[in-house]
């Protein structure tokens, strides 16, 4: 199956009860070595048969993804895992029984069953069972494990709608299954259980507190704060690349006092506008009134800080909307790191490329 310079088909599927004929068509494309973008509960994935080295190479080509950044293998249930790794450790079984299907990726020893491009040549493999009827039906129907990164051009914000996928990958992939907006809006949590103590390599849809309730202490890789220099080399290869970034440059303003943060954003907005830059402001319900009536700025209110689930679901669409609005610089207010806030702040910090302003109390 040839993916390069093809016409991308766009098929709308019912996200709760996907049409069997459409899923069979998509499954056949995967089995034939083609690329299919599909909805998951986190973001849209770009799938290929994980056992087919050529198909997997197609993912890297379509996304422009660095070759050393390994992929997540998507399977339909825990039982399938034993086909691809020698040993399923007890911690994996426990976590999977509670959190699969769901937004948790487990990094475990093994993966030799897959072509080296899937694992980036590491001796570990990342696996998850997505909690989306379309994704599960596709994996089952295809009858193969599905390697799937987020379906965006490398470095861009992840896609939460089929429209985002087409904006980035139209003409480069065979098919996108459109199941409407993905619910969570941020990717799965990547948890490394290959060593003695479990480590979060990427915060995501499954929060640390819930993991610790089940398995005890869970470390967080210092590289997730966007500063690899404080924690040595990141343990997840993907964390060393600029990521989630809109075309405009993004400056993140952090601080405990929300009102002082917003006041500072306003000062900076005026400064950028005075030199002719088109300014976008990423804010929350608690402080959006600071910008009332300021029609010269593109203001996006991404829900409330007190409701990180809503912020997560609006995050990537908001970053893409700033691009559509043609802003030059995005001034983003930060939010607390609690719960899903850890994933949101990780994405904002990475989108800023380290351009973070801390406002002390
Ligand atoms: O929610 C998600 O996880 C989405 C949907 C489509 O499932 N997928 C996704 O894939 O976000 P991707 O490729 O965009 O991010 C995978 C992350 C990368 O940071 C990669 O470096 C890391 O997982 N990863 C994959 N295999 C790994 C391994 N063996 N060891 C450490 N990190 C790994
Ligand atoms: Mg990604």
Residue 229: pLDDT band with limits 50, 70, 90: very low
Which atom of ligand 1 is the closest one to the Cα of 71? 25
In this model, does residue 10 exceed pLDDT 90? yes
Using the atom order of ligand 1, give the atom closest to the CA of residue 190: 23
pLDDT band at 2 (very low <50, low <70, confident <90, very high): very low
Strand 9-12, strand 175-178: pairing: parallel
Residue 228: band (very low, low, confident or very high) from pLDDT cuts 50, 70, 90: very low
Report the atom number in ligand 1 closest to the C-alpha of 105: 3
pLDDT-derived band at 245 (thresholds 50, 70, 90) equals confident
Q: What's the mean pLDDT in 163-187? A: 97
Least confident segment among 87-101, 187-201, 235-249? 235-249
SS3 341: helix
- For residue 270, the CA-to-ligand 1 centroid distance in Å is 39
Q: Which residue has the higher pLDDT, 239 or 290?
A: 290
Q: What pLDDT score was predicted for residue 15?
A: 97
- Determine the residue of 187, 228, 233 to mutate for testing ligand 1's pocket, defined as the one with the most ligand atoms within 8 A of the Cβ atom: 187
Q: How far is CA 141 from CA 8, 19, 29, 138, in A?
A: 21, 12, 11, 5
- Does the structure show a pLDDT above 90 at 8? yes
Compute, in angstroms, the gap from residue 190 CA to the centroid of ligand 1: 7
Element (H, E) at 265: helix 258-274
Share of the chain above pLDDT 70, in %: 95
Question: Taking the model in full, what pTM does it have?
Answer: 0.95
Sheet of 329-333, strand order: 298-301, 279-283, 329-333, 249-254, 356-358
Q: Which ligand sits nearest to residue 74's alpha carbon? A: 1
What residues have a C-beta under 5 A from ligand 2, the ion?
Answer: 150
Interatomic CA distance for residues 243 and 316, integer angstroms: 12
CA neighbours within 13 Å on the CB side: how many for 159? 30
On average, the pLDDT of the chain sits at 94
Domains parsed from the chain with CATH numbers: 9-224 (3.90.870.10), 249-358 (3.40.50.11030)
Six-digit token pair at 236? 């997840």
User: Taking 80 as the threshold, does the pLDDT of residue 231 lie above it?
Assistant: no
Is 80 exceeded by the pLDDT of residue 361? no
Question: Is the model's pLDDT at 242 over the cut of 80?
Answer: no
Residue list, ligand 1 pocket, CB within 6 Å: 40, 42-43, 45, 69-72, 103, 105, 107, 119, 122, 124-126, 130, 148-150, 187-188, 190, 201-202, 236-239
Q: How far is the CA of 353 from the centre of ligand 2 (A)?
A: 16
Which of 40, 72, 340 for mutating ligand 1's site (highest number of atoms within 8 Å of CB)?
A: 72
In the predicted model, what is the mean pLDDT of residues 25-47?
Answer: 98
pLDDT tens digits, residue range 256-277? 999 999 999 999 999 999 999 9
Can you tell me the distance from the alpha carbon of 55 to that of 297, in angstroms, rounded to the nearest whole number?
Answer: 44
Mean pLDDT of all residues in 330-337: 97
Q: Is the model's pLDDT at 216 over the cut of 50?
A: yes
- 187 CA closest ligand 1 atom index: 1
Q: Which residues contact 331 (CB under 8 A, 6 or more apart)?
A: 251, 253, 265, 268, 269, 272, 279, 280, 281, 282
Beta strands (DSSP E) in the chain are 9-12, 36-38, 45-49, 72-74, 104-109, 124-128, 146-147, 175-178, 189-192, 199-202, 219-220, 249-254, 279-283, 298-301, 329-333, 356-358
Q: For ligand 1, atom 1, name the residue with the nearest CA.
A: 187
More confident of the two residues 224 and 58 = 58
- CA–CA separation, 333 vs 320, rounded Å? 17
Which residue has its alpha carbon closest to ligand 1 atom 3?
A: 188
Q: Residues 89-126: pLDDT tens digits?
A: 999 999 999 999 999 999 999 999 999 999 999 999 99
């Amino acid at each position: 199956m040839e993916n390069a310079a093809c016409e991308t088909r766009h098929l709308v599927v019912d996200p709760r009860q996907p049409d069997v004929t459409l899923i069979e068509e998509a499954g056949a494309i995967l089995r034939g070595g083609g690329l299919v973008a599909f909805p998951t509960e986190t973001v849209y994935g770009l799938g290929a048969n994980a056992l087919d080295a050529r198909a997997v190479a197609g993912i890297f080509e379509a996304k422009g993804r660095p070759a050393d950044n390994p992929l997540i293998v998507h399977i339909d249930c825990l039982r399938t895992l034993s086909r691809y790794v020698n040993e399923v450790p007890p911690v994996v079984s426990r976590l999977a029984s509670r959190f699969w299907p769901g937004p948790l990726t487990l990094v475990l020893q093994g993966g030799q069953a897959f072509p080296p491009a899937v694992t980036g040549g590491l001796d570990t493999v990342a696996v998850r069972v997505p909690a989306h009827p379309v994704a599960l039906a596709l994996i089952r129907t295809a009858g193969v494990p599905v390697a799937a990164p987020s379906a965006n051009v490398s470095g861009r914000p992840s896609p939460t709608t089929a429209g985002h996928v087409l904006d980035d990958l139209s003409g480069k992939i065979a098919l996108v299954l459109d199941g409407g907006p993905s619910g969570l809006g941020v990717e799965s949590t990547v948890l490394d259980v290959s060593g003695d103590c479990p480590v979060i390599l990427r915060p995501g849809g499954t929060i640390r507190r819930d993991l610790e309730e089940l398995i005890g202490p869970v470390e967080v890789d210092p590289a997730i704060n966007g500063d690899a220099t404080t924690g040595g080399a990141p343990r997840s290869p993907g964390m060393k690349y600029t990521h989630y970034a809109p075309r405009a440059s993004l400056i993140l303003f952090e601080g405990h006092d929300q009102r002082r943060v917003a006041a500072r954003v306003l000062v900076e907005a005026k400064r950028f506008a005075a030199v002719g830059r088109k300014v976008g402001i990423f804010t929350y319900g608690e402080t959006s009134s600071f910008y009332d009536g300021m029609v010269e700025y593109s203001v996006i209110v991404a829900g409330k800080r007190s409701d990180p689930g809503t912020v997560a679901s609006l995050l990537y669409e908001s970053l893409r909307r700033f691009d559509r609005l043609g802003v030059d610089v995005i001034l983003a207010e930060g939010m607390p790191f609690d719960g899903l806030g850890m994933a949101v702040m990780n994405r904002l910090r990475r989108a800023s490329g380290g351009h973070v302003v801390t406002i002390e109390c």
